[in-house]
């Protein structure tokens, strides 16, 4: 989840009041008069000046009047966290992968924890990644939850924009399995990841 601020935006000669949302890979602005979505990778320049976040986008200059947040947002945009940092996976962590992960993520995972386990839940595992492209694959979360102990984290990775598996469906399966949802991140341009843990009283 990102940071949200009510602000004024100036772009292409227009001025609009609305809400700006700083996500992990993009900045979004919504108002009745103007809607914007600018991915970090498309920004040609980013500056914080006198409470303004000034972004040079492919469509021209955009100014977000976000006040004290300007410096912080500029820093986050210019120094984005790696995917492993967003997921909380540190070097040497015990990780289990269930399902097929994209090749790029597996390569990132191997750099941090080359001995990650596939298919079966490793003893004392800290992180479990379940990829769910179908309802049947999502249903595996129920049995996984039974094997979780202590502070083990279950990340369910699912595709964006599909009717078969929605965020509500993922939340429902996790909660019915007795887990608590604590975080959501943009896993990739095509997938989202939801983090579940055991409630404190069940650890």
Residues 98 and 57 in one domain: no
**Who contacts 30 (Cβ-Cβ below 8 Å, separation ≥6)?**
18, 19, 21
**Final residue in a domain of this structure, among 43, 78, 113:** 78
Q: What's 104's domain CATH number?
A: 3.40.50.150
Structure confidence at residue 1 (pLDDT): 45
Residue 161, pLDDT score = 80
> pLDDT at residue 122 above 90?
no
Do 24 and 88 fall within a single domain? no
For the chain, how many structural domains are there in total? 2
Mark whether 44 and 139 lie in a shared domain. no
Domain co-membership, 18 together with 70: yes
What mean pLDDT do residues 27-52 have?
A: 93
Specify whether 73 is located in the same domain as 137.
no
pLDDT over 70 for what percent of the chain? 99
Per-residue pLDDT tens for 53-71? 999 998 899 999 999 999 9
Q: What is the dihedral of CA 35, 39, 43, 49, to 10 degrees?
A: 60
Q: What is the CATH number of the domain that holds 52?
A: 2.30.29.30
**55, 78, 101: which is the final residue of a domain?**
78
160 and 192 in contact (C-beta within 8 Å)?
Answer: yes
Q: Are residues 72 and 135 in the same domain?
A: no
**At 186, is the pLDDT very low, low, confident or very high (cuts 50, 70, 90)?**
confident
Q: Which two tokens stand for residue 167?
A: 């965020």
Tokens linked to 168? 């509500």
End residue of a domain, out of 27, 45, 78:
78
Q: Is 113 found in the same domain as 48?
A: no
Say yes or no: 13 and 28 in one domain.
yes
Residues 90 and 181 both lie in one domain: yes
Q: Is the domain of 97 the same as that of 171? A: yes
Shared domain check, 87 and 66: no
**Cα dihedral 102, 107, 112, 113 sign:** positive
Do 47 and 105 reside in the same domain of the chain? no
The range of the structural domain enclosing residue 7 comes to: 3-78
The pLDDT of residue 157 is 95
Q: Which residue has the higher pLDDT, 123 or 159?
A: 159
């Amino acid at each position: 989840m990102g940071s949200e601020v009510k602000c004024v935006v100036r772009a292409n000669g227009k001025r609009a009041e609305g809400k700006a949302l700083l996500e992990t890979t993009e900045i979004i602005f919504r108002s009745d008069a103007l809607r914007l979505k600018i991915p970090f990778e498309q920004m040609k320049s980013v500056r914080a000046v006198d409470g303004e976040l000034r972004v040079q986008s492919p469509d021209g200059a955009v100014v977000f009047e976000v006040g004290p947040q300007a410096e912080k947002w500029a820093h986050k945009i210019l120094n984005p966290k790696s995917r492993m940092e967003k997921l909380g996976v540190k070097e040497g962590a015990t990780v289990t992968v269930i399902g097929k992960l994209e090749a790029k993520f597996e390569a990132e995972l191997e750099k941090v924890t080359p001995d990650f386990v596939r298919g079966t839940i490793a003893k004392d595992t800290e992180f479990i990644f379940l990829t769910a492209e179908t309802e049947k694959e999502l249903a595996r979360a129920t049995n996984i939850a039974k094997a979780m102990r202590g502070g083990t984290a279950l990340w369910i990775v699912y595709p964006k924009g599909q009717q078969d598996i929605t965020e509500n469906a993922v939340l429902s399966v996790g909660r019915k399995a007795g887990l608590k949802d604590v975080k959501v991140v943009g896993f990739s341009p095509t997938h989202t990841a939801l983090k579940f843990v055991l409630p404190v009283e069940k650890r």
